[in-house]
């Protein structure tokens, strides 16, 4: 077991004392459906604990490093940094998918690159570092893996705001106008409508978005407009 995880330990700079705990990080519940007598449980309890540790570390880090921001901004930044996509991205960088034990069906469904599975696995790893070492080591691990070179960029460019909020801020600052959203098309049955919405600055169309709700389509349109403005 030691050889199996040594590349990961080297990558993250943490050597585990409890090898069973480390293996527990990678036991997905689907694996146990096919191996009911396996000696290690699923990683769900570790994931639960890791979520709380991650939340506390993020709160402390923001409080210490961004003292000029208010609590509402802290909340927005925290939501953006600990969301599934962000955690899954980090999990990919440290190759957690290589170690996850899944059912055959889940493997065939590309479970090793599934964002939710990877994000849950990262949270379980956070909990394992906390249990096997200390809160301080878990703090350092999270800062190194998740915050380094990322959080400053998110804060500086206000990427924690939704695309609609960022576009509104930008247009108000540049032109002193608010964006307007216009429904271009509605398709599908009442219970499953798809919306196509365009966003305008004055009379100029800036972007188009699609979604299963007006809100989703508006966010998509704002994101499209921001991408076009960056170009």
pLDDT for the residue 190: 84
- Give the closest residue to 199 by CA, choosing from 220, 229, 169, 213: 220
Residue 37, CA distances (Å) to 33, 41, 42, 159 in order: 9, 10, 12, 46
φ, ψ of residue 92 in degrees (nearest 5): -65, -40
Model confidence at 205: pLDDT above 50: yes
Q: Are residues 43 and 114 in the same domain?
A: yes
pLDDT for the residue 192: 85
How many domains does the structure of the chain reveal?
A: 2
The rounded mean pLDDT for the chain is: 92
Model confidence at 223: pLDDT above 60: yes
Rounded to two decimals, what is the model's pTM? 0.77
Range of the domain at 222: 163-230
Model confidence at 144: pLDDT above 90: yes
- Catalytic, 70? Answer no
Find the CATH number of the domain harbouring 144. Answer: 1.10.1520.10
The one catalytic residue in 76, 123, 218, 219 is: 123
231 SS3 class:
coil
Cβ neighbourhood burial of 42 (10 Å; 0-12, 13-18, 19+)? buried
Model confidence at 231: pLDDT above 80: no
Q: How many H helices and E strands in the chain?
A: 12, 3
pLDDT tens digits, residue range 111-130? 899 999 999 999 999 999 99
Q: Of 97, 129, 156, which residue is a domain's last?
A: 156
- Give the closest residue to 206 by CA, choosing from 173, 175, 179, 169: 179
Percentage of the chain lying above the pLDDT 90 cut: 75
Q: Are residues 139 and 219 in the same domain?
A: no
- Catalytic, 123? Answer yes
Q: Of 125, 156, 187, which residue is a domain's last?
A: 156
Beta-sheet pairing, 204-211 with 180-187: unpaired
DSSP 134-150: -HHHHHHHHIIIIITTT
The one catalytic residue in 51, 76, 218, 219 is: 51
pLDDT for the residue 1: 44
pLDDT for the residue 3: 74
pLDDT tens digits, residue range 3-47? 799 999 999 999 999 999 999 999 999 999 999 889 999 999 999
Q: Are residues 22 and 131 in the same domain?
A: yes
pLDDT for the residue 150: 84
Mean pLDDT lowest among 67-71, 156-160, 211-215? 156-160
pLDDT for the residue 15: 95
């Amino acid at each position: 077991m030691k050889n199996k995880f040594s590349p990961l330990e080297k990558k993250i700079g943490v050597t585990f004392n409890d090898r069973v705990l480390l293996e527990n990080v990678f036991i997905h519940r689907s694996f146990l459906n096919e191996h009911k007598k396996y000696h290690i449980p699923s990683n769900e309890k570790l994931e639960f604990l890791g979520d709380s540790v991650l939340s506390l570390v993020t709160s402390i880090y923001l409080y210490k490093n961004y003292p000029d921001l208010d609590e509402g901004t802290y909340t927005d930044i925290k939501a953006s940094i600990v969301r599934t996509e962000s955690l899954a991205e980090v999990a990919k960088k440290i190759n957690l998918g290589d170690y996850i034990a899944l059912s055959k069906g889940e493997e065939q469904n590309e479970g090793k690159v599934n964002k939710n599975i990877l994000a849950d696995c990262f949270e379980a790893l956070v909990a394992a570092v906390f249990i096997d070492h200390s809160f301080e080591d878990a703090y350092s691990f999270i800062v190194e893996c998740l915050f380094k070179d990322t959080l400053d960029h998110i804060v500086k460019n206000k990427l924690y705001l939704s695309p609609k909020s960022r576009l509104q801020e930008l247009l108000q600052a540049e032109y002193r106008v608010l964006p307007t959203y216009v429904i271009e098309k509605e398709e599908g049955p009442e219970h499953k409508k798809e919306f196509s919405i365009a966003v305008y600055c004055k009379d100029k169309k800036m972007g188009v978005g699609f979604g299963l709700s007006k809100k989703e389509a508006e966010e998509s349109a704002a994101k499209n407009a921001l991408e076009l403005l960056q170009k």
